[in-house]
Chains A and B, each alone.
Chain A
């Protein structure tokens, strides 16, 4: 729809050129690498690929990645939605500043994110020492991974939910209350279902982003096989130790999961477009 409308304004020749450049770009930058890795992975047969994937250390790294990402998604959905709510609905002081702060995780290099967490929670810091005395280890441990993922993916849910919430204003809740609905019913039957497509799309984006997170995790959690080694770090390790086959196996798995997440996301967006904007 959108591309049709945009090209309608251009002369046919320039529209053709634009389209060609666009297709070439997408092909070169997106499709080609995906095709290349898929072909390469299956070159030595499915059996050997499976052997690489089913290596205990690879499976442990994959399983850890998925679990950490899941925990992050659950927390992010709640905090992200709540943050969007506050930014849209509450007249909090410094709202503009808070709104700008939300995007900071996107702007900061992830390695720096890792450093910040180490400085804050490391064993030599005040907070790290305090937590350590109560038996909570953050750095070189799994909580560190979750914290790093939370920080890196924080904006996704907020930025997905915020526009829908702004558009919703207070009308729908007021309508529900005039029809006799109490607060609980209004929240679960009106507000949540309206926001759900946006929340899920934010969750899906942050999940796929978390699958590939490398920079912050390697600094915070290190590379301890079977304990803190996530998939991306495992892949890096395999390349470093001269075993590209092992790297290939897990890469393909991550790729498939990401593509599936993207597919689900698209289906969700199609569904929510049916209900979109009532104004």
Chain B
């Protein structure tokens, strides 16, 4: 039984289709990230799960029960808002107790449950403070405790760390992961920060323009992206124009041909190669499998140097570790030989599915 199942969910606001046919499932006890650029519809999906927006069509099941037409207050979801949405006229204690009071639990039980949650979110001594007396990080923890108090079926977090500064944000994200490992409540959080999603999610749902582009573990999404969008949104990527055909792959504007046996029977066609910067290595000498490029800029980035270059008519960049820099003697205008590691091919038309994936096992990289 899955924690959350979403089938063909659609939602439009006037002429704007915010969510188009979204389907995915979240297993019981998983922590899942809805990742996408702003305006991609990820928050709308989350709000539909909570019932804060009505779906135009499609189905939403929570722990096996169809809740599509059930009102928010009866769905038993915990929701954490970007701007906390705490009840400002209530103390921390009363905020957390609010959902329990609605369930008409005995006063003694409410008190012990609230204390348990205050313990969980580490807010001892703040029970009788008002939200305005707390820092941003503390407020968000109160909001989390309040959402968890009535024991919801699922926990939904809408850009939960979006209003916090970078350092607090990182700590709180890690803390949320630890918390999840202890309480295992099925959770979905919305974020536009791919590193945040990679860091704490079990599974990432990548959303673009209202469509689910890919569902997978952080490793799958990063290493086997299903579309150009996913590849370029999650992490950095070089996009190289190339031609494929007659058993060869040639990067536009270069002479180097990479053997490509799969295309032996196809005619020449335009493709794009997606190569992560860390998959490009500067090699000491030229060989049949290297590609030559012209360095256009070298920038210091602390732990490494970022080298920008022209690869034929394509712009590309790669990372050179600081300790390897001295030997390479890189400067703008210098010609270098590159070894390409893993890359992916997509047909040149935007958004088209992957043609084939290049693996180092093909044998031309040692």
Whole-angstrom distance between the Cβ of B162 and the nearest chain A Cβ: 12
Partner of B74, one of A175, A180, A185, A276: A180
CB-based contact A274/B130 at 8 Å: yes
B73 contacts which chain A residues (CB < 8 A)?
A: 177-182
Chain A residues within 8 Å of B182, by CB: none
B150 within 8 A of A: yes
B39-61 with Cβ < 8 A to chain A: 50-52
> Cβ of B88: which chain A residues have Cβ within 8 Å of it?
172, 194, 275-276, 278
Contact call B83/A278, Cβ cutoff below 8 A:
yes
CA distance A181 to B75 in the complex (A): 11
Interface contact A278-B52, CB-CB below 8 Å: no
Return the chain A residue nearest B99 by Cβ: A179
Taking CB atoms and an 8 Å cut-off, the chain A residues in 148-174 that contact chain B are 169, 171-172, 174
Bound state CA distance, A175 and B143, in angstroms?
A: 9
* Partner among A172, A189, A274, A276 whose Cβ is within 8 Å of the Cβ of B85: A172
Count of chain B residues with Cβ under 8 Å from any Cβ of A? 35
Q: Does A262 contact B (CB under 8 A)?
A: no
A70 contacts B by Cβ under 8 Å: no
Contact check, A179 vs B52: say whether CB atoms are below 8 A apart: no
Identify the closest chain B residue to A275 (Cβ).
B88
Cβ A178 vs Cβ B79 within 8 A: yes
In Å, the complex CA distance between A185 and B99 comes to 11
Whether, in the assembled complex, A119 has its beta carbon less than 8 Å from a beta carbon of chain B, the answer is no
Query: Complex: how many Å from CA A174 to CA B163?
Result: 18
Assess the A178–B131 pair: CB atoms within 8 A: no
Minimum CB distance partner of A185 in chain B:
B102
Asked if A190 is at the interface of the complex by the 8 Å CB criterion, the answer is yes
Question: Does A13 count as interface, using CB distance less than 8 angstroms?
Answer: no
- The answer on a CB contact under 8 Å between A178 and B72 is yes
Contacts of B71 in A (CB 8 A): 177
Residues of chain B within 8 A of A180, CB atoms compared: 73-74, 76, 99, 102-103, 150
A177-B72, A278-B139 known; A190-B83 Cβ under 8 A: no
Kindly provide the distance from the CB of B171 to the nearest chain A CB, expressed in whole angstroms.
20
Out of B50, B77, B78, B87, name the residue touching A194 (CB < 8 Å). Answer: B87
CB–CB A278/B86 < 8 A: yes
Across-interface contacts of A181 in B (CB, < 8 A): 73, 98, 102
Instruction: Give the distance to chain B from A214, nearest Cβ to Cβ, in Å.
Output: 38
Say whether B147 faces chain A, with CB atoms less than 8 Å apart: yes
B89 within 8 A of A: yes
- With CB as the reference atom, state the residue of chain B lying closest to A186: B73
> Is A171 touching B102 in the complex (CB atoms < 8 A)?
no
B83→A171 contact, CB < 8 A = yes
* Contact call A178/B78, Cβ cutoff below 8 A: yes
Q: Tell me if A177 and B132 are in contact (CB < 8 A).
A: no
B146 contacts A by Cβ under 8 Å: yes
Complex: A175 Cα to B131 Cα, angstroms = 15
Q: A163 to chain B: closest CB distance in Å?
A: 14
Flag if B81 contacts A274 (CB, 8 Å): no
Q: Check A101 for interface membership: any CB of B closer than 8 A.
A: no
Given contacts A175-B79, A193-B89, contact A276 B132 (CB under 8 A): yes
Question: Which residues of B lie under 8 Å from residue A193 when comparing CB positions?
Answer: 87, 89-90
Cβ-defined partner of A278 (8 Å) among B76, B77, B131, B146: B131
In B75-122, which residues have CB < 8 Å from any A CB? Answer: 75-79, 81, 83-90, 98-99, 102-103
CB of A176 closer than 8 Å to a CB of B? yes
**Nearest 9 CB-CB pairings of A with B:** A171-B85, A179-B99, A178-B79, A175-B85, A177-B72, A180-B102, A275-B88, A193-B89, A180-B73
A-B contact pairs, 14 of them (CB 8 A): A174-B81, A174-B85, A176-B87, A176-B98, A178-B52, A179-B146, A181-B102, A189-B98, A194-B87, A194-B89, A274-B130, A275-B132, A278-B132, A279-B163
> A residues engaging B (CB < 8 A)?
169, 171-172, 174-182, 185, 189-190, 193-194, 196, 274-279
Which B residues are closer than 8 A to A by beta carbons? 50-52, 71-79, 81, 83-90, 98-99, 102-103, 130-133, 139, 143, 146-147, 150, 163
